[in-house]
Amino acid sequence: MTGALLTAFGVLGMVGGGALAAHAYSNSQQDVPNAEAYGPVLWRNESAERLFPASVGDPPNSQYEVSDKSVAQWRRMGISEDTECSKGLSGETRKTAQQLGCKAVVRATYVDLTGEMVATVAIVVLPESASAAQEMGEYLQDQSGEEYPDGAVIPFKVPGTLAAKWKEDRRNGMGGVGLGANLPYAIAVTTGAVDGRVSGNLPDEFGEYGADVEDRRPWMNAAEALSKAFHVHITRLER
């Protein structure tokens, strides 16, 4: 039953991700006064609750916000107070971000509405140039196609919640996207199972591209969809 839920969520992630990307592109075409000046500083001028809404989902159209409860797919468990790049990212993701001039990493942890999947979302703050955010986004996108992708984000565990035991060795998937232009940010996400199950334990005959890859796919799709949801959300905050 759990496997079916994860697979279904992965498919929804792929479908939803496309819709969210379209919304983001549409928003990026709008010409709004002061957006150019506000975009690079919104990460420290918006409240933590505004950056990381209590619930997040895939809106069916532009009339809905990502944070609308009626489209909720994820619930926020907590927001990290630590914004150091070295403590928010791991492995090659951290190294890449630091090479690009990472200024800060703000994180929050969410659990999906089934209570099965946990995710930490990181907003990576980069220098005020489109290239840094784009390069970071390209790195994250490339990782999603690797047989063994980098974990990307250090999980933020939240005591007293479903994310109380969320830690690095429970990560099963990752995803990410770069913003750019007036928004020098990249969104990186890592996902795992609330109960600590790890991917890569399917028999070899499962999956055209290998059991490990197929078992990881739902986690990867969910992380990708969540990163695109935050792409839309941050773009709209700029307005």
pLDDT in tens, the chain (239 residues): 334 444 444 433 433 444 433 333 333 334 445 657 889 999 999 999 999 999 999 888 788 899 999 999 999 999 999 999 999 999 999 999 999 999 999 999 999 999 999 999 999 999 987 799 999 999 999 998 887 788 899 999 999 999 999 999 999 999 999 998 789 999 999 999 999 988 765 445 444 444 456 778 899 999 999 999 999 999 999 87
User: Rounded to an integer, what distance in angstroms lies between the CA atom of residue 232 and that of residue 19?
Assistant: 10
* Rg from Cα positions in the chain: 17
Predicted TM-score of the model (pTM): 0.81
Residue 112 near residue 144, CB atoms below 8 Å: no
User: Rounded to an integer, what distance in angstroms lies between the CA atom of residue 177 and that of residue 84?
Assistant: 20
What pLDDT was estimated at residue 11? 37
Which of 209, 130, 218, 232 is closest to 175 using CA atoms? 218
What pLDDT was estimated at residue 34? 60
What pLDDT was estimated at residue 122? 98
Residue with tokens 């928004």: 183
What pLDDT was estimated at residue 64? 85
What pLDDT was estimated at residue 46? 95
Residues in contact with 82: Cβ distance below 8 Å, sequence separation at least 6, in sequence order: 88, 107
Torsion angles phi and psi, residue 173, rounded to 5 = -155, 165
User: Rounded to an integer, what distance in angstroms lies between the CA atom of residue 30 and that of residue 210?
Assistant: 43
